Amino acid sequence: MPHGHASEALTKNQALVMGALSEATGPLSAYTILDQLRDDGLRAPLQVYRALDKLVEFGLVHRLESLNAFVACRQPGCDSHERTAFMICDDCGSVIEITDKALARRLKSLAQDASFALKKSTIELRGLCAACTPM
Amino acid sequence: MPHGHASEALTKNQALVMGALSEATGPLSAYTILDQLRDDGLRAPLQVYRALDKLVEFGLVHRLESLNAFVACRQPGCDSHERTAFMICDDCGSVIEITDKALARRLKSLAQDASFALKKSTIELRGLCAACTPM
DNA sequence: TTGCACACGTTATACCGTTACACAATCGTG
DNA sequence: CACGATTGTGTAACGGTATAACGTGTGCAA
Ligand SMILES: [Zn+2]
Ligand SMILES: [Zn+2]
Ligand SMILES: [Zn+2]
Ligand SMILES: [Zn+2]
């Protein structure tokens, strides 16, 4: 059972999906991945979704809720995948992944104030990346 | 053109959709809304989606990305709809809406550090609400 | 009057994700 | 080894989410 970012012992389908996401420069939808992997033998959405579920579980891939898409984790020390924040460029689609202690603390504190048992944070910031911002 | 939370001058379809969301205790999907409003003459998804787009634009409704659903804004002074955070109970589906200055500041600061021109924040916390948390 | 903006209605289609069922490989245990 | 349990796989069918591409009617301003 793989752990952390060492992509050891992935199954064939998991490795295929992981490969597609790793080579991509931005997020991919499940169906885009499927199209890219048809020549490798994948034929049905479920094959992709099953692999994605595992990859997310292993911490190798993030799901971007506001995009209905998936992106390979690029952050070497990204341990706490439950509190990662993303900046998504609405123009070029690039994704910046960040984990910020202060942000996590504040969210935890807000949850406590509301007696809310926090399990997972979805934080997705939309806007324009540095390259796409007009001067 | 309506502004703020005074629901003035909504069109017929907008008023119908707003009514459904206001009476609901939690988030509703577009298709659930459609089903509820069939007797009122709504027949196609697009009619609901068009109304929802406007209601979100007016600041009367929030879209919850992680749920693919919509919820009426319950916060009287909810001005900055672009930085509202939500706590969503995975058990009962209830939604707590919060706007926190410190949180907004931290996000703004993180964006600035990355030269990211922040337009909209999606912050959705998943977990268990107070009522659903076992002792 | 003419053009424009906007709400509306309908059909069809695209995109996202799951259920249900069947089969094969693997693994720990008696 | 044999057995059951678990996990991965493959396929078909389906259901849920969202938009495209039409066309209609109304109000208003140039
Ligand atoms: Zn990561
Ligand atoms: Zn960009
Ligand atoms: Zn609000
Ligand atoms: Zn609850």
Chain B residues within 8 A of A102 when measuring between CB atoms: 106
Residue of chain A whose Cα is closest to the Cα of B100: A110
Q: Which two tokens stand for residue B104?
A: 């907004």
- The enclosing domain of A40 has a CATH number of 1.10.10.10
- Whether residue A105 lies inside any domain: the answer is yes
Q: How many domains does chain A have?
A: 2
Are B88 and B122 in contact by the 8 Å Cβ rule? The answer is no
CA A112 to each of CA A84, A108, B125: distance values in angstroms, whole numbers, following the listed order:
19, 6, 12
Q: What is the CATH number of the domain that holds B114?
A: 3.30.1490.190
Calculate how far, in angstroms, residue A43's C-alpha sits from the geometric centre of ligand 2: 32
Do B49 and B103 sit in the same domain of this protein? Answer: no
Quickly give B9 CA vs D28 C1' distance in Å. 17
Element (H, E) at B102: helix B101-113
pLDDT tens-digit readout, B6-53: 445 899 999 999 999 999 999 999 999 999 999 999 999 999 999 999
Q: Which long-range contacts (CB under 8 A, 24 or more apart) does A72-80 make?
A: A72/A18, A72/A21, A72/A22, A72/A24, A73/A5, A73/A97, A75/A99, A76/A5, A78/A5, A79/A4, A80/A104
SS3 A2: coil
Q: Which of A26, A51, A72 is the last residue of a domain?
A: A72
Q: Which domain holds residue B88?
A: 83-127
Residues B89 and B61 in one domain: no
pLDDT at res. B50: 98
Residues B67 and B8 occupy one common structural domain: yes
- Residue B69, CB, less than 7 Å from strand C? no
In a domain, A132, yes or no: no
Contact A120 B127 (CB under 8 A): yes
**pLDDT per residue over A104-126, tens digit each?**
999 999 999 999 999 999 999 99
What gap in Å lies between CA B96 and CA B87, rounded to an integer? 5
Kind plus residue range of the DSSP H or E element containing A88: strand A85-89
Residue B39 to residues A16, B42, B54, B59: CA-CA distances in angstroms? Answer: 48, 7, 22, 27
Each residue's pLDDT, cut to its tens digit, for chain A (135 residues) gives: 333 444 458 999 999 999 999 999 999 999 999 999 999 999 999 999 999 999 999 999 999 999 999 999 998 777 777 889 999 999 999 999 999 999 999 999 999 999 999 999 999 999 999 999 987
The confidence score (pLDDT) of residue B7 equals 44
CB-closest option in A66, A111, A129 to B116: A129
